[in-house]
Chains A and B, each alone.
Chain A
Amino acid sequence: MSSRDLVLGRVRRALADTGRDETPYEQAMSRAYLRRHGDRTVEETVDLLAENLADYRAIVHRSDTEHLPALLARLLTARGAHRVAVPQGLPPGWLSGVEQVPDRAESTPYELDGVDSVVTGCAVAIAETGTIVLDGSPDQGRRRITLVPDHHICVVRVPGQVVSSVPEALERLDPARPLTWISGPSATSDIELDRVEGVHGPRTLEVVLVSEE
C-alpha cells in the first residue's frame, strides 16, 4: 500500500464516528466577523494606512504623479544609492540619474547583493494593518529584487490601491501569483520577545503614497 493510501485510510478510520456534513462550505461557516473595522472616509483610510505603516517603522511620504520622479530622485540621493534594481514594467519617467539594474530571469542573488536600492509599485495596501502586498506584476518584478537590496521604495497609488482590511485585500489578490505581504522593514522579536527592526530583508522601507488625478 502506498503511504498516500495508508494516511488517507487512517484519516477515514479516525473519522468513523463523525458523519459527513454535506452543507455547502460557505453555508456551514459562521462568518459573523466584520469585513472591516469601523467606517472611514477614503481620506481617513489613507491616513490610517500612513499611520500604521509608520508605527512599524516604515518611512511614509506623500506625493502626486507630477512630483513623484523628483521625490524618488531625492530619496535615492539622500540614501546615497547609485545602483537601483528596477522591475521591467516600472513606469518610464519615474527614475532618472541613477544606474538602473533591470530585473532579469538570469540575474543571480550575488548580483542583487551589489544593488543599493529597489523601487517598485504594489498590488494593494491594507490600512488596518499597515501592509503592502506585492504580486509580481510588471511594476513589482520578481520577489527577490525587493528582498536582497537593503533599501526598498514602494509606490502606492492612493486611494485606488488602498483597502481597509485583510478580507478586502484577499478579495483583490490572485492566489496563482507569488505574493509577498510586507508590514514594515524586516524585524525580529527573537531576543527577549522585544521587536528589533532590521534583519535579513530590506532594513529601510520607504512607502510613497501617490495621489491619483
Chain B
Amino acid sequence: MSGTFVGMPSFPEAAHAAVGNKTLRGNLRHATHTIRAKRAKAVAELSDWAQLREAGRQIKDHTLRHLDRYLMQLEEAVTAAGGTVHWAADADEANRIVTGLVKATGESEVVKVKSMATQEIGLNEALEAEGIRAYETDLAELIVQLGKDRPSHILVPAIHRNRGEIRDIFRSEMGEWGRPAPDGLTDTPAELAEAARLHLREKFLRAKVGISGANFMVAETGTLVVVESEGNGRMCLTLPETLISVVGIEKIVPTWRDLEVFLQTLPRSSTAERMNPYTSMWTGTTDAETADGPRAFHLVLLDNGRTDTLSDQVGRQALRCIRCSACLNVCPVYERAGGHAYGSVYPGPIGAILSPQLRGTESEIDASLPYASSLCGACYEVCPVAIDIPEVLVHLRERVVEGGTVTRAGNKVVLKPAKGHAAERAAMRAARWAFGHPGALRSGQRLASRSRRFLPRTLPGPGRAWSASRELPAVPAEPFRDWWQRTHGGQEAR
C-alpha cells in the first residue's frame, strides 16, 4: 500500500474535498444505509441485547482495570501451549520483531489476514523495505492494495469503491501482483469475488508464513480468535508453517466463557449477521501427532499508545472497542465525509476518539478529530460495548483547547493549549466575566436588543469560520431577564 497518513490535512479540510466527490458520497450512502437497516433487524432478534451490551462493557472494563494481570496470564497460557510471546512498546518495535521473524524463516513473501493492528503500525511498508512482500487476502484489503489506495472503513476498507471501480482495478492491477483478472470480467459482485478467489489461491497454497491480528485473546486458555467471512483468514491461519499474530494488548478477555457475549454481539453489530461465516480459534500449536496448522506460532503484543490511552480516566473506555464498525455506519458525518478524511486507519466516530489518544493531539489532523462530530450520539446508541463516544469527544475537545497533563509513550507531559482556539478561549473568558457581573450583562443584553436590526448575520474576524456553517441565534426584542421582571415571571399579561 502506498497510501500514507503522514502530513494529513485537518479533518475539515479533507472532509471539504470529500463531500464534493459525488461518486464517493453515493457509494457511502448506499453502503451505510444498506447495513444500518440490516443491523437493526439482526439486533432486534435478541431480546436480551441490552444485557449482552452491559455484560460486554463490564467484561472489557474489568479486563482493562487488571490488564497487567491478564497480560501475564495470557503470556503464560500461550507459552504453555507452544507459542512464543513478544512484547512491542511501539510500532517500530513491532515491525522489527515481525520482520526479524519472517527473515528467520528465509521467506520473502507472507500472506496476511485483514488486521487493524498491522495497518496501524504500517507493517506492510516495513516488510517491503526489507524486501518482503506482504499479500493482503481480505477482498476489501486486496482492492485497497491493488488500487494503491488507503482504507476508509474498519470492516470494509474499500467501502468508498463501487463495483465498477473494483472491476477496473482488478482488470488493470491484478496482473502486476500475480494471476491476472479473467478476460471479460464484469462488475457483478459474484464475478469479482471469483476473480479474487482465483488470484489469491496460488498465494495461499504456496505460503509459508501467515500474519494475522486477532479479535479476542482468552487469558485463561491462551486461545486466539479470528472472526471472518471469506475463508482467507482460515487459509492464512492454517496452511502456512509459521503464524505471526500482532494484537493490541486491549484485545484480552479473561475467560473462555466471555466469548459467549462477544460472539453474539460482534457479528450482529458489524455485518448484521447472526453469525459470520467463519470463526477460527487456536491455542498455541498442536502436537506432532495432531499436526493441524502452523508448527510455529508467535504472538506480538502491541502497546503503541494503548497504555497512554489507558491512563486517561475518561478516554480509556475507547479501549473497550471490538472494531465492529457499527458507529461508522450510523454516523452522519462519516456518511458524508468518508473514511479518508479522518487521516487514520481508524475512521468514523471511534477513530475520532481513538486516533488522538493513540497518537496524541499534537498534529493538525489529530487535534481536529475530536471536532469531527455533531455529537448526535447515534454512535453511542449502537455501540455493543457502550462506549460513550460523545463524552470522550467533548473531553478531548477540552484537552485540545485547554491543554493539560497527558501521558505520551508512558511519560507524563503537559500539553499547551492549541493555538487555533485563542478566539474560543477569549470568548469563554469574556462570557465568564459577563456572567459574573450582572450589571454589565444587563447593559450588554439591552444594547444588543436595541441594535438587533443592525447586527451582522455572520461573525467578524476569527468567528467567521464558526458562523460560516451555522445560523447566528436571533436576538430578541427584549432580554429574557427584563421580560421576567416586567411580567413577574410571566404571570401578568404581556
Contact = CB atoms under 8 A, between A and B. Distances in A.
A178 B229 contact: no
A193 B34 contact: yes
Contacts of A30: 51, 54-55, 58
B277 A187 contact: yes
Contacts of A21: 62, 65-66
B261 A33 contact: yes
Contacts of B286: 136, 178
Nearest to B237: A143
A4 B75 CA distance: 10
Contacts, number: 263
Interface in A44-77: 52, 56
A189 B276 CA distance: 10
Nearest to A201: B231
A192 B278 contact: no
The size bracket of the interface on B is: 35 or more
A78 interface: no
Interface residues of A, number: 74
A190 B138 contact: yes
B260 interface: yes
A47 B441 CA distance: 72
A126 B277 CA distance: 13
B55 A192 contact: no
B120 to A, nearest CB: 16
A33 B205 CA distance: 43
Contact of A13 (B58, B264, B279, B311): B311
Interface of A: 2-4, 6-15, 17-18, 20-21, 25, 28-34, 37, 52, 56, 105, 109-110, 113, 126, 128-131, 136, 142-144, 147-148, 166-167, 170, 175-202
Interface of B: 27, 30-32, 34-35, 45-48, 51-52, 54-55, 58-59, 62, 65-68, 71-72, 75, 81, 86-89, 93, 137-140, 143, 155-156, 158-159, 162-163, 166, 189-190, 192-194, 196-197, 200-201, 204-205, 218, 221, 223, 229-232, 234-235, 238-239, 249, 254-257, 259-261, 263-264, 271, 273-283, 286, 289-293, 301, 303, 307-308, 310-311, 313, 316, 407, 410
The 4 lowest CB-CB distance pairs between A and B, nearest first, are A201-B231, A200-B231, A14-B311, A10-B307
Given A178-B282, A180-B279, 18 more contacts: A4-B75, A6-B87, A7-B71, A13-B407, A34-B51, A130-B274, A170-B257, A176-B81, A176-B283, A178-B238, A181-B278, A185-B277, A187-B229, A188-B229, A192-B189, A200-B201, A200-B234, A200-B235
